[in-house]
Structure 1
Amino acid sequence: MIRFSQEDLQTIRTHAESTYPEECCGIILGYLASGGKIVVEVIPTENAWNTEAVAEFAGEHTAESKRRQYAIAPEVMLKIQREARNKSLNIIGIFHSHPDHVAIPSECDRLYAWQGYSYIIVSVQNGKAGELQSWSLDDTDHFQTEAIENII
């Protein structure tokens, strides 16, 4: 289970709508507690997906680029990880949007995911944020749904 404030969930939705029709992305900071993860801060980031670099790395090419893929720049991840550590927090998840598609992970999402993180996906239909779901990888590297609870 992952617990969010309404404000943090709204930050994700607003970021997703602002980047439409491209995918948004961002980092979720918090900590582990009995019964799940507690979100303390949601940090929207730029979608740094670079089709040429990833195509070279993965041996594939996707013409749709940021409309169907996302990436957080490594230097941004490191900077936020350092800042989190200074606040006694951890990166506990990543969020991104699926423009004009359901909030279900793609195969690409699975290939780039890390165990232990929550992956929040928000569906954005015609520019309006809708369904929001959380996913985490199981021991066999397959996504399982994760309950989202609101913190008041």
Structure 2
Amino acid sequence: MKLQLTETAQRLIQEHATEIYPDECCGFLYGHETEVRLVQETVPVINSKNGDKRRRFEISPVDYMRAEKYALENNTSLLGVYHSHPDHPARPSEHDLNQAVPYFSYIIVSVREGKVADLTSWQLNEANQFEEESILQNQNFIHHN
């Protein structure tokens, strides 16, 4: 599957990740799916993880219910979740894999020293392992080395 983010969605994910740094941010991805999964809107949620939020995120069941309701009421699809990895690569962890569900796209933003370093997207395959999704890049994506 290929994923594309609108410029606004991409910017909002990056801003949320840098604002919450050094903790992990998280939020929902909404949009529509045809040949490409198009993320048109993002909605941040509170990282409800107890304890160290610099290495883990958690989205409450109530927030998931609200997300599904929002999608129904706004004629959109809940396509997945985004979260950040402060001072770590934009690759899924074992914890990310254990929390993942089929169908969803999982965008991970690497934030290093308060700046966005990379953005990737992942989806579970039939073997219940993460497979990287191709992201059709917007020209305005800020990529720091």
TM-score in terms of structure 2 length: 0.90
Identity of matched residues, %: 36
Q: Deviations over 1:16-36 (max 9, x none)?
A: 001111000000011221x22
Structure with more helix by fraction: 1
Gaps (5+ residues) in structure 2?
A: 140-145
Q: Is the 8 A contact 1:103 1:123 kept in 2?
A: yes
Q: Which residue of 2 aligns with 1:124?
A: 111
Q: Deviations over 1:69-107 (max 9, x none)?
A: 101111111112101111221210100000000000000
Three-state SS of the structure 2 residue aligned to 1:147 is strand
Q: Which residue of 1 aligns with 2:37?
A: 37
Q: 2:60 aligns with which of 49, 68, 73?
A: 73
Counterpart code for 1:24: C
- The size of the alignment, in residue pairs, is 138
Rounded Cα–Cα distance in structure 2 between residues aligned with 1:117 and 1:128: 26
Gaps (5+ residues) in structure 1?
A: 52-64
Q: Is the 8 A contact 1:27 1:93 kept in 2?
A: yes
Three-state SS of the structure 1 residue aligned to 2:5 is strand
Instruction: Could you list the structure 1 runs, at least 4 aligned residues long, displaced by more than 2 angstroms after superposition.
Output: none
TM-score in terms of structure 1 length: 0.86
Pick the structure with greater CA Rg: 1
Q: Is the 8 A contact 1:6 1:150 kept in 2?
A: no
